[in-house]
Amino acid sequence: MAHDVPVERGAPTERTFFGHPRALATLFLTEMWERFSFYGMRAILVLYLTAETTDDGLGLGDSSATAVYGTYNAMVYLMALPGGWVADRLIGARRSVLWGGVVIAAGHYVMAVPTRWSVFAGMALIVLGTGLLKPNISTMVGALYDRDSPRRDAGFSIFYMGINLGAFIAPLITGLLGEKINWHLGFAVAAVGMTFGVIQYVLGRRNLGDAGDRPADPLLGADRRRALTRVGVAVAALVVLVAALALAGLFTIDSVVNLLTAVTVLVTIGYFARIMTDRELSTTERSRMKAYLWLFVFAAAFWLIYDQAGSVLNIFAAERTDRNVAGFTFPASWLQSVNPILVIIGAPLFALLWLRVGHRVSTPVKFAVGLVLNGLSFVLMAAAAQAAVGGDQVSPWWLVAVFALQVAGELSLSPVGLSATTKLAPVKYASQMLGLWFLATAVGDAIGGQVARLADTWSEPTYFLTFGLASVAFGLGAVMFARHIRALMAGIH
């Protein structure tokens, strides 16, 4: 489609992708393949961790496996902070995306090696690579457009479709190969997907112009050497800590998971403390940050439940659902494709809904709706679990209905929260606030991984009902405080 596209000088205009800069196609496909690898591996991760060693699994208990899963997700989002810093101060977004993709692919290839240690080494590499790629590829999409371009939001919508397209396709392939043939073959397919992404990114680099080519605020000379020295010291300290834990016999799965959970929470507290105590903030900015703290807590509570779809709910799908269709038992991980296809269907509907209601429904109320819907999904799961008591298997349509409620909650909270983050950000911290929004997911996933341990000791109906009702109550509480939070937002809706 040939149209004149208002773009910044970094993006060529002679070729277009659905009326957008041709570079968007390169970034769209890179993100699609990265999400293919991420969600493809994640769909079978807990199932592999809990599978018996006789079935080539790792043989972990459900409690440890769900904690590992939650911590892994938390680390992926936590590393967005240093990943953004590396791009802004050292190598630029373009190189960060490239090296991030290479490291992610390497991590998946390591996981494809059929040994017990490979899964953890591979996950560590994926965490590092995703930290480099995930925040910076979005920055590059934004660099394709003028800040006030009418096509900017549409460009991000197309990009967002790439995320969900990769997330939808991946479990269907990795789940079939991983569950039916060999777990490590499923991990290998995820590696191949990321490799495709890296190859097409390199081949499409000519379309990128100078978007993301240089650091936004580069460190030079003595400042650069000082920063690199600090990074080196931090890495050395980490190595010493790991060695000390190993020598003390404390380098176990549970101890590492607990340590990383604590680090995630402490980093978040430190980040907020740094911003809230900054004397350069105006009275209005400080008030808005107080409002944002409320929204952050609501978001963390939301992700605590929502991201158990790949852990607790995935195990339920494998053990408690009747997945036999015409003599074929489809993989439990195929149900992980339900969420992204529902997002693809629901996103434009919710965008239209929020456009229609305008400012009549405030941001805190939208968050409250998300929390209530999320809670109701777990209340519904309690009914499904009760139906499965005694070893009976239930229809997978229970999970489809649960995911539908969760996606409705996500579309009430996630895009709204991202928008609120940019509007409430103090000027001084504008570039760092997206990383702070990622931290909400990190905190929710880290604590959620620990909370999910209870699913192994409580009865399933009790577990789902307790946390479902807690989320509903939290959402109703958010409604009660909505007027106060809106006042703190100081004119922001």
Under the banding of pLDDT at 50, 70 and 90, the label for residue 24 is confident
Indicate if the pLDDT at residue 430 is higher than 60.
yes
Distance CA 337, CA 356 (A): 30
pTM score of the predicted model: 0.91
| Tens-place pLDDT, residues 442-477 | 999 999 999 999 998 999 999 999 999 999 999 999
| Tens-place pLDDT, residues 117-172 | 899 999 999 999 999 998 888 878 877 877 656 676 677 778 888 889 999 999 99
Q: Which long-range contacts (CB under 8 A, 24 or more apart) does 155-159 make?
A: 155/20, 155/21, 155/24, 157/347, 158/17, 158/18, 158/20, 158/24, 158/28, 159/24, 159/27, 159/28, 159/31
The more confidently predicted of residues 427 and 53 is 53
Under the banding of pLDDT at 50, 70 and 90, the label for residue 3 is very low
| Tens-place pLDDT, residues 39-75 | 999 999 999 999 999 999 999 999 999 999 999 999 9
Indicate if the pLDDT at residue 219 is higher than 80.
yes
Mean pLDDT of 181-195: 96
The two tokens of residue 394 are: 């239930």
User: Phi/psi of residue 16, each to 5°?
Assistant: -125, 165
**Which percentage of the chain shows pLDDT scores above 90?**
63
The two tokens of residue 341 are: 């296809």
Q: Burial, 229: exposed, middle or buried (Cβ in 10 Å; 0-12, 13-18, 19+)? A: exposed
Q: Burial, 161: exposed, middle or buried (Cβ in 10 Å; 0-12, 13-18, 19+)? A: middle
Nearest-5° Cα angle at 205, 149 to 218: 75
Mean pLDDT of 268-273: 92
Under the banding of pLDDT at 50, 70 and 90, the label for residue 190 is very high
Task: Give the pLDDT score at 475.
Answer: 96
Mean pLDDT of 211-240: 86
The two tokens of residue 437 are: 């929004």
Task: Give the pLDDT score at 300.
Answer: 97
* Structural element, H or E, at residue 310: none
Indicate if the pLDDT at residue 285 is higher than 50.
yes
Task: Give the pLDDT score at 365.
Answer: 94
Task: Give the pLDDT score at 10.
Answer: 45
Task: Give the pLDDT score at 492.
Answer: 78
Task: Give the pLDDT score at 431.
Answer: 65
Contacts of 452 (CB under 8 A, 6+ apart): 63, 66, 67, 69, 70, 308, 311, 312
Indicate if the pLDDT at residue 355 is higher than 90.
no
| Tens-place pLDDT, residues 302-343 | 999 999 999 999 999 999 999 999 999 999 999 999 999 999
User: Is the four-CA dihedral 166, 408, 81, 234 of positive or negative sign?
Assistant: negative
Indicate if the pLDDT at residue 262 is higher than 80.
yes
* Structural element, H or E, at residue 434: helix 433-451
The more confidently predicted of residues 243 and 434 is 243
The gap from C-alpha 473 to its chain's centroid, in whole angstroms, comes to 25
Under the banding of pLDDT at 50, 70 and 90, the label for residue 13 is very low
Distance CA 449, CA 401 (A): 23
Q: 3-class DSSP state for residue 116?
A: coil
Q: What is the DSSP string of 334-357?
A: GGGGHHHHHHHHHHHHHHHHHHHH
The gap from C-alpha 280 to its chain's centroid, in whole angstroms, comes to 32
Indicate if the pLDDT at residue 177 is higher than 60.
yes
- C-alpha count within 13 angstroms, C-beta hemisphere, residue 418: 11
Distance CA 332, CA 340 (A): 16
Task: Give the pLDDT score at 209.
Answer: 81
Task: Give the pLDDT score at 153.
Answer: 63
Task: Give the pLDDT score at 417.
Answer: 86
The two tokens of residue 189 are: 């397919």
Distances (CA, A) of 32 to 27, 136, 169, 377, 418: 8, 15, 10, 28, 20
Task: Give the pLDDT score at 250.
Answer: 81
Task: Give the pLDDT score at 6.
Answer: 37
